[in-house]
Amino acid sequence: MPSLLDQLTAALAGAFAACGLDPALGVVRESDRPELCAFQCNGAFAAAKAARRPPKEVAEAVAAALIDSDTVQNVSVAGPGFINFDASRIAISSALAAQDNARCGVPATGAGTIIVDYGGPNPAKAMHAGHLRTTLIGDALKRIFAFAGYRALGNTHLNDLGLPMGQIISEYAARHPEWPYFDPAFTGPYPAEAPFTYAELEEIYPQAAQACKDDPARRNLARQAAVDLQEGRPGYRALWGHLMRLSKADAKRNFDSLGVSFELWRGEADVHGLIPGIGRDLKGRGLAVESEGALVVPVVEAGDTRPMPPLMYYKSDGAATYGTTDVATLCDRAQTYPDLVRAVYVADRRQALHFEQVFRTARLAGYADGVDLTFVGYGTMNGPDGRPFKTRSGGLPRFDDIVAETLERARARLAEAGLRGDEALARQIMMATLKFADLVNPPAADYVFDPERMTAFEGKTGPYVLYQAVRAGAILEKAGSAGALGPLGVDETPLALTLAAWPEAFAQALAAPSPHPVAAQAYRVAQAFSRFYGACPVLSEADPATRAARLALVARTRAQITLALSLLGIYVPKQM
RNA sequence: GCACCCGUAGCUCAGUGGAUAGAGCGCCGCCCUCCGGAGGCGGAGGCCGCAGGUUCGAAUCCUGCCGGGUGCGCCA
């Protein structure tokens, strides 16, 4: 059963055709003037131009052709040629009936594998508010693709072989030259336990980075250490192994706190072995050329309007860059997953140029033929003053601090409501708060990080949507029996129409791709339900048909909010 | 310098060719003998940065200007 909008568009297309006009002009949209009618079609303007007739005359002809339709009703022509109408009760009911299943009427038509890359923790560096964005957007996109029928795999790409690793290793070499990791004569085995804790690592890293910034000699040591590490020097590899284990555990702790998980934890080190072969291939085919001592892939295309520097494959010191590993990773994925149809990267939008270079290189070399390459960039993070966000200590707020603060506020709010001590519930509220606050915005928009707003429980927030679903659930539980779709009065119709718009909202999210349309739809349903709740008593309604019809709407509301929120990684509790 | 993104209510943001531009927060006023008030209803608040252009119709498309952000090969 097609969606309500599809049914209406089909009816209008038929009317246009009956008048000898292009049926493609029968596109229906929600009305701009809800007090006049629920839907409108503006195709008469374009049709009038093509037919060289006055728009109003065309609109009236189309309206006349709709007189016997059982899909639209209350047809009228307004102004210079707007065709206004409502959906018939039969059309609304059949659209809602088609949603009466676990998928709320959306078919799973996707086929093939999609890999979504997000999270992106940096080893030895505390995850911060920026990681919150990529984590939440990426996790939601993965769920949306999976719901659409694809095999969706989440990967968190670890930047685990770059210069920072060299900086840390050389820092420890300076501080603890006596460690066996730095003794070339040492034959092992190396200690099983790490000689440092993760907290110490987090402290050492910024100091090491700063030292390299200040001192060219230190910088060279760090570069050399990174190259040695990439080439597999045993002591460095052993030390690096400790570092990675601790870093992954910390990243997992952060992801777990939000119920986010990954199918793949493949980073730079996992494709390191592929780099020389790909380099030879690119060079052999003339795609990569020597330039200023480095090996680069020119990716300028005809028609470029902006500067397009080449992708750097090997730096002049022979080291790989993140462009190298991203190309190698893509190549590896296309081979590992023959049915890969799409690779999605969720990262700060300042990396747009980098991914453009990677995508162009892959296309030039044919490493990912048939794979749709998508970059989802999210906005720069600013503070409430509109300038780059800074904590009192000067950095970005920590990921785990944001989670802990929101969790604490959720506990406090639950205590107010007399639900003290329900820790699982507090976590659900926390997740709804953080996830919805982020996902209700389009990813590309600049991001204002306002802790007050981020953790609010009132207004356009996750807890508001949860609350409406909980109220709906309470009614359903007390009613005991199921309802049946029936007559819709003026107070029921807005909710019914909002519910009917779900297939379009999901289609929009999938096409973008973005979680935002799903979040916006969940909010619209919650808002429509809250009005309905105030205007339409259900359990105390005396007329059985009205009561059943309202109960059916309550059930559809609960189901749709539950589904939409689940695609955002948010779960609806029984009470709150 | 060149390029990309953005400029919408006091604030944070939706809305990318249709009528009278929406939401949340904040502000003012109502609504709990009634399914859960994390709520609902009403009100004030806008030359959609500015100026041209295209169009029957522009917040939306084009051009120029002003303002902000970001990027432009050896960090990841």
CATH of the domain at A74: 3.30.1360.70
Q: Which residues contact A46 (CB under 8 A, 6 or more apart)?
A: A22, A25
Query: For residue A544, which phi and psi values (nearest 5 degrees)?
Result: -60, -40
Contact predicate A329/A115, CB 8 Å? no
pLDDT for position A158:
84
Is A184 among the domain residues?
yes
Is A192 among the domain residues?
yes
Average pLDDT of span A401-415: 94
Tokens of A505: 């909202």
Low-confidence winner among A24-28, A389-393, A430-434 (lowest mean pLDDT): A389-393
Contact predicate A124/A162, CB 8 Å? no
pLDDT, one tens digit per residue, over A323-332 is 999 999 999 9
Judged against a pLDDT cut of 80, whether residue A389 lies above it is answered with no
Judged against a pLDDT cut of 80, whether residue A395 lies above it is answered with no
Average pLDDT of span A10-39: 94
Per-residue HEC secondary structure of A103-133 comes to: CCCCCCCCCCEEEEECCCCCCCCCCEHHHHH
Average pLDDT of span A369-374: 95
Q: Which residues contact A379 (CB under 8 A, 6 or more apart)?
A: A349, A443, A444, A445, A446, A447
Average pLDDT of span A348-363: 95
Q: How far is the CA of A205 from the C1' of B69 (A)?
A: 29
Q: How far is the CA of A382 from the C1' of B13 (A)?
A: 14
Q: How far is the CA of A483 from the C1' of B37 (A)?
A: 27
Identify the residues numbered 241 to 280 in chain A whose C-beta atom is closer than 7 Å to any atom of strand B. 268
Interior angle at CA A364, CA A362 and CA A365, nearest 5: 65
Average pLDDT for chain A: 93
Cβ contacts of A392-399, under 8 Å, gap ≥ 24: A395/A128, A396/A128, A396/A129, A396/A130, A397/A128, A397/A129, A397/A449, A397/A451, A398/A126, A398/A127, A398/A128, A398/A129, A399/A126, A399/A127, A399/A128, A399/A129, A399/A131, A399/A132, A399/A254
Out of A235, A257, A279, pick the residue that ends a domain.
Answer: A257
Average pLDDT of span A275-287: 96
Q: How far is the CA of A224 from the C1' of B74 (A)?
A: 14
**For residue A23, cis peptide bond before it (omega within 30 degrees of 0):** no
A410 CB contact with strand B at below 7 Å: yes
Which one is predicted more confidently, A303 or A119?
A: A119
Q: How far is the CA of A483 from the C1' of B42 (A)?
A: 33
- Dihedral over Cα of A390, A394, A400, A406: its sign: negative
Give the distance from CA A476 to its chain's centroid: 31
Per-residue HEC secondary structure of A38-99 comes to: CEEECHHHHHHHHHCCCHHHHHHHHHHHCCCCCCEEEEEEECCCEEEEEECHHHHHHHHHCC
Q: Which residue is nearest to nucleotide B75 (CA to C1')?
A: A163
A293 CB contact with strand B at below 7 Å: yes
A355 CB contact with strand B at below 7 Å: no
Low-confidence winner among A242-251, A337-346, A373-382 (lowest mean pLDDT): A373-382
Identify the residues numbered 166 to 225 in chain A whose C-beta atom is closer than 7 Å to any atom of strand B. none
Judged against a pLDDT cut of 80, whether residue A181 lies above it is answered with yes
Tokens of A282: 């690119």
Give the count of beta carbons closer than 10 Å to the beta carbon of residue A112: 16
Contact predicate A399/A131, CB 8 Å? yes
A163 CB contact with strand B at below 7 Å: yes
The ipTM estimated for the assembled molecules is 0.96
Tokens of A530: 């809250």
Closest to A347 in 3D by CA, of A114, A113, A115, A116: A116
Which one is predicted more confidently, A419 or A409?
A: A409
Judged against a pLDDT cut of 90, whether residue A452 lies above it is answered with no
Torsion from C-alpha of A509, A514, A517, A519, nearest 10 degrees: 120
A322 CB contact with strand B at below 7 Å: yes
Q: How far is the CA of A133 from the C1' of B6 (A)?
A: 19
Helices (H), A176-304: 198-214, 216-230, 234-257, 268-271, 275-284
The DSSP symbol for A333 reads: H
Hey, is A29 helix, strand or coil? strand
Is A232 among the domain residues?
yes
Out of A230, A257, A284, pick the residue that ends a domain.
Answer: A257
pLDDT, one tens digit per residue, over A47-93 is 999 888 999 999 999 999 999 999 999 999 998 999 999 999 999 99
A576 CB contact with strand B at below 7 Å: yes
Q: Report which secondary-structure segment, H or E, holds A294.
A: strand A294-297
Average pLDDT of span A177-192: 91
| Dist CA A309 CA A301 (whole Å) | 11
pLDDT for position A375:
96
Judged against a pLDDT cut of 90, whether residue A380 lies above it is answered with no
pLDDT, one tens digit per residue, over A221-240 is 998 898 889 888 999 999 99
| Dist CA A242 CA A160 (whole Å) | 12
Out of A240, A257, A274, pick the residue that ends a domain.
Answer: A257
Residue tagged 């009317």 (tokens): A15
Q: Which residues contact A339 (CB under 8 A, 6 or more apart)?
A: A111, A112, A113, A151
Is A309 among the domain residues?
no
Judged against a pLDDT cut of 90, whether residue A173 lies above it is answered with yes
Judged against a pLDDT cut of 80, whether residue A247 lies above it is answered with yes
Identify the residues numbered 122 to 151 in chain A whose C-beta atom is closer than 7 Å to any atom of strand B. 122
Range of the domain at A61: 4-87
| Dist CA A558 CA A538 (whole Å) | 14
Tokens of A450: 């306002």
pLDDT for position A414:
94
pLDDT for position A547:
94
Is A203 among the domain residues?
yes
Judged against a pLDDT cut of 80, whether residue A384 lies above it is answered with no
Q: How far is the CA of A257 from the C1' of B16 (A)?
A: 37
Judged against a pLDDT cut of 90, whether residue A293 lies above it is answered with yes
| Dist CA A275 CA A430 (whole Å) | 42
Q: How far is the CA of A277 from the C1' of B51 (A)?
A: 57
A321 CB contact with strand B at below 7 Å: yes
- Strand B, nucleotides < 7 Å from a protein CB: these are 1-6, 12-15, 18-20, 22-26, 34-41, 56-57, 69-76
**Nucleotide nearest A320, from its CA to each C1':** B74
pLDDT for position A360:
96
| Dist CA A298 CA A468 (whole Å) | 54
Query: For residue A344, which phi and psi values (nearest 5 degrees)?
Result: -115, 135
* Residue A70 backbone class (left: φ over 0; alpha: ψ -120 to 50; beta: rest): alpha
Closest to A116 in 3D by CA, of A134, A142, A140: A142
Q: Give CA separation, A500 vs A73, A147, A446, in Å.
A: 17, 19, 31
Helical packing angle, A89-97 and A493-500, nearest 10°: 50
Burial class (CB in 10 A: 0-12, 13-18, 19+), A484: middle
| Dist CA A224 CA A400 (whole Å) | 34
pLDDT, one tens digit per residue, over A132-158 is 999 999 999 999 999 999 999 999 988
pLDDT for position A366:
96
Average pLDDT of span A471-486: 91
Judged against a pLDDT cut of 90, whether residue A451 lies above it is answered with no
Is A253 among the domain residues?
yes
Is A50 among the domain residues?
yes
A531 CB contact with strand B at below 7 Å: yes
Is A334 among the domain residues?
no
Which one is predicted more confidently, A447 or A574?
A: A574
Q: What is the largest CA-CA distance in chain A?
A: 94
Based on the structure, what is the number of domains in chain A?
2
Give the count of beta carbons closer than 10 Å to the beta carbon of residue A114: 27
Q: In what order do the strands lie in the sheet with A289-291?
A: A289-291, A294-297, A311-314
Judged against a pLDDT cut of 80, whether residue A385 lies above it is answered with no
Q: Give CA separation, A322 vs A157, A342, A359, A367, in Å.
A: 11, 20, 13, 17
Confidence of residue A346 (pLDDT cuts 50, 70, 90): very high
